[in-house]
Amino acid sequence: MNQQQIFIAASNAIDFYRMAKRGMLAGMINIGTPAIVCSEFSAELAMKAIIYSEGSKCRGHKLIPLMNRLPKDVQSEIEDELSSEWPDYKAQLENCDNAFVDWRYLHEVENELFINAKFLLLFSEICCKIAMKRLEIKSNIPIEDIY
């Protein structure tokens, strides 16, 4: 993976985060499934950009295997930020693990799906922040203020 491809992955992660956040804004019509899919895909792309920047390859949509491929300091940073608000961080992450596939094909699922969309959006935001910092991607607007 070359630097341009890594930058594109990180940039796309930020774009998908922006779309997810717009889909979940208070006072707006919640777009539900598309916002969840965008949140998960954003987190996935941000983690992949970090993994690629470390010289490794990765594939797949599941969050937990990608988390396990991240450098330990990145894993700890994500867990520390999220576990302060969600003491059941690991259970929340497990529930989001395959959201990109499960929620894209919601019409094919036989069981009801439940997801903490707020957790997933914040997970995505944190992953994007870390990717931006590690890849030295500059923005005039902090990611949490992007709409």
Three-state SS for 5-54 is HHHHHHHHHHHHHHHHHHHCCCCCCCCCHHHHHHHHHHHHHHHHHHHHHC
Total domains, the chain: 1
Q: Residue 115: which CATH number? A: 1.20.120.330
pLDDT, residue 104, reads: 87
pLDDT, residue 139, reads: 79
Contact 69, 96 (CB under 8 A): no
d(CA 55, CA 119): 29
pLDDT, residue 24, reads: 81
Q: Domain span at residue 101?
A: 3-145
Greater confidence (146 vs 127) lies with: 127
User: At 138, is the pLDDT very low, low, confident or very high (cuts 50, 70, 90)?
Assistant: confident
